[in-house]
Amino acid sequence: MRTGVDGPAALWFAAFIRRVHAALPQTLRRLLPKTFIGYALINGSAFLLDMGFLAIVTHFFALPYGVAFSMGYALASVYAFFLNRTLNFREHGDLGKQSGKYVLVIISNYLIWIVGFASLLQPTGIHVMVARVVTACCEGIYIYLMLRLWVFPRVRADLAAQQDPVTPA
């Protein structure tokens, strides 16, 4: 349940996403919800954080794929949760309930895509960074759907339209 007031950063982000969404061709506007665009920007930056961490860790430390992936994934997941909650889905509800659901999503995603799928790619000789990009594409769709449908299910188009402000000066 939305019970708080959006801060200036959330209002700015909503106005920015609304402008990006409006600039899309009509077919894409009908197919892509505004929250997907926000998710793509936030999780894209989280992915860059993950990849940067992965590059540094694998350059300076001889860690196995699983350990290096896990550390970067944990860092990026926490970052993405709070930005998605605050800026994209603009939720002010029960943080404990939402974070609990998110932890389940992240653990299932981790087991399916990061450990499972990435482990299948390692024996093929695919470079760690390429393997991470491939898994990120799969997990991105999975996590968005889980956020939209289960973690933050109360976001409605009419609520978003009602609360999207005029672009601040």
Parent domain of 67:
8-163
Determine, yes or no, domain membership for 1: no
The reply to whether 72 falls in a domain is yes
Angstrom distance (rounded) from CA 37 to CA 125: 33
| Model confidence pLDDT, tens digit, residues 68-124 | 888 998 999 999 999 999 999 999 889 999 999 999 999 999 899 878 887 888 889
- 3 is a domain residue: no
| Within a domain: 28 | yes
Number of domains comprising the chain: 1
pLDDT for 120: 87
- Judged on CB neighbours under 10 Å (0-12, 13-18, 19+), 166 is exposed
User: How far is it, in rounded angstroms, from Cα 89 to Cα 152?
Assistant: 7
**pTM attached to this predicted model:** 0.79
In a domain, 112, yes or no: yes
